Amino acid sequence: MRTLAFDGRMGAAGDMLLGALVAAGADPAVLAPVEEALPVSYAFDPVVKNGVAATDARVVHDEARDDGADSGGSAGDGGQQERSHDHEHAPGHTPGHGDADGDCPRGHDHAHADGAEGHGHTRTYAEVVDLVGGMDLPASVREEALATFELLGEAEAAVHGGDLDDTAFHEVGADDAVADVVGACLLLADLAPDRVVTTPLATGGGDVTFSHGVYPVPVPAVVELAERADWSLRGGPLEAELLTPTGAAILARAAEGVDRLPSLRVESSGYGAGGREFPDRPNVLRALVGEAPAAEPADARAGGATDDAPAGTDGADGTDAHDGVAGFVREDVTVLETNLDDATPELLGGLHESLRAAGALDVTVLPATAKKSRPGHLVTVVCAPADAPAVVRRLAVETGTLGVRETGTRRWVAERSVETVELRVGGATHEVGVKVARATGGDAYDYSAEYDDAAAAAREADVPVREVMRRAEAAARDGADGCDRDGV
């Protein structure tokens, strides 16, 4: 599976995404439809951030092509072209991630240079939709761009308590912000990944001043976008605004959240530069493109044996195919353990189902000797790293445990699928799922009938479950549907 992974430890902004995508291999020539529709052009220049070679993306405003709308300064004067947030700024305040000297007020550090709060028109949501709809874009890119602006509009409407159709964009309705969003969608389409993921996005910290007052970082629009996204926020690591609404909206539409970078056979990588210099770390957004094993189908993870199907390229950290074990995929997992000395049989009986609903891949309950020599139980849960917090919460709520041990490890899981066979049992035809494990090359080496399917057929026909399971496995092994066999 071709995967694009972003490293969000320094946040994200629209122009940082543009730079990272071009540096990772996207062709900037695909941006021509935006340059034809707006009085802007894109510039991509090599820069060095704390010793890291990166690509500085700028949206340059063409005054000669402008229709007379006010502009707030040059887009190429050192600023990060993402217009820091969806709100007007108080007079005299300008965000400062583009400020090389760092003398700006604290908190607004992924933004533009002094005096620049976006170029061209301030537009309503409806006007942005009309503008993007009129661009000569591939249908899929237009759909993604409009969906991204819808996310921005919904976030803005939620912040101000208004309706989407009445929402007025300020910075993110300006020409260069529109160029950021549509440009990112074009570059993503050019890279054509099967999957896009991002690690938790750093928000920074401190305060930001709007015309409405002083607000903490992350700004309200970013928080609203995070509620609609699959990824997580992370505070810090600097007292500066590191995650902007445009960057958050692009990633909310395009990316799944992961706890750390997935296992990849890296084909290309690149860094998109932010405008401001920080003393102890490079101000860049890293992008990696590579191959990862395809995620396991959802039906292959349902029911069956205790060590259930793999998480595939799980939202946490993916999988790693390895030639040393034919037909197996290696994946990172988290093992959670807790000791219980007061759990009732009824509670333990329902624990498997409850934990699996929270994301557990495997649940084991073993008898143990607890404190004061009391008989107790050891509960062991295997889950994807990204699901560990939810599983821990569910484990604590269901059992009342006061602590859970966590260990990171890896497991090898067979490639598998679920096939359905038809059997005549007791004069009626029944469908029974059979889990098939396959080695390299697709050769099946194990067949395991789904118990619930077999049990349903056995109950109806009043025959032993194991006989139905045996026949289902034989039918799958032989490639027959079983319908021409005598009933049990």
Give 261's DSSP letter: P
Strands 265-273 and 284-291: antiparallel
> What was the pLDDT predicted at 204?
93
Instruction: Note whether 299-413 and 416-478 share their fold.
Output: no
- Count of helix runs (H) and strand runs (E) in the chain: 11, 18
Helix (H) or strand (E) holding 155: helix 139-160
Cα 163 to its chain centre, rounded Å, is: 27
> What was the pLDDT predicted at 41?
95
> What was the pLDDT predicted at 126?
86
Quote the Cα angle for 216-222-223, to 5°.
Answer: 75
CATH 3.40.50.970 fits domain 416-478: no
* Neighbour-count burial for 236-269, b at 16+ CB within 10 Å, e otherwise: ebbebbbbbbbbbbbbbbbbbbbbebbbbeeeeb
In this structure, the chain runs to a length of 488
Label residue 427 left, alpha or beta by phi (over 0 means left) and psi (-120 to 50 means alpha).
left
> What was the pLDDT predicted at 326?
55
Q: Distance (Å, rounded) from C-alpha 241 to C-alpha 95? A: 9
Arch. (CATH architecture) of 299-413: 2-Layer Sandwich (3.30)
For residues 24 and 288, is the Cβ–Cβ distance under 8 A?
A: yes
Q: Distance (Å, rounded) from C-alpha 317 to C-alpha 311? A: 10
Q: Distance (Å, rounded) from C-alpha 485 to C-alpha 462? A: 18
Q: Distance (Å, rounded) from C-alpha 365 to C-alpha 93? A: 59
Q: Distance (Å, rounded) from C-alpha 108 to C-alpha 240? A: 5
Q: Distance (Å, rounded) from C-alpha 34 to C-alpha 20? A: 18
450 burial (CB, 10 Å; 0-12 / 13-18 / 19+) is: buried
Amino acid in position 486:
D
DSSP 80-148: -SS-S-SSPBPTT----TT-TT--SPTT--SS--TT-S-BS---BHHHHHHHHHTS---HHHHHHHHHH
Nearest to 76 by CA among 63, 62, 58: 58
> What was the pLDDT predicted at 443?
77
10-residue mean pLDDT series, the chain (488 residues): 94 97 98 95 96 96 63 36 36 37 36 39 82 94 94 86 68 76 97 94 88 84 93 91 94 92 92 92 96 52 37 41 56 92 89 91 92 90 91 94 92 83 88 83 82 91 92 83 44
Nearest to 334 by CA among 272, 397, 409: 409
Q: Where are the domains of the chain?
A: 2-291, 299-413, 416-478
Amino acid in position 378:
L
Quote the Cα angle for 225-226-232, to 5°.
Answer: 160
Amino acid in position 328:
F
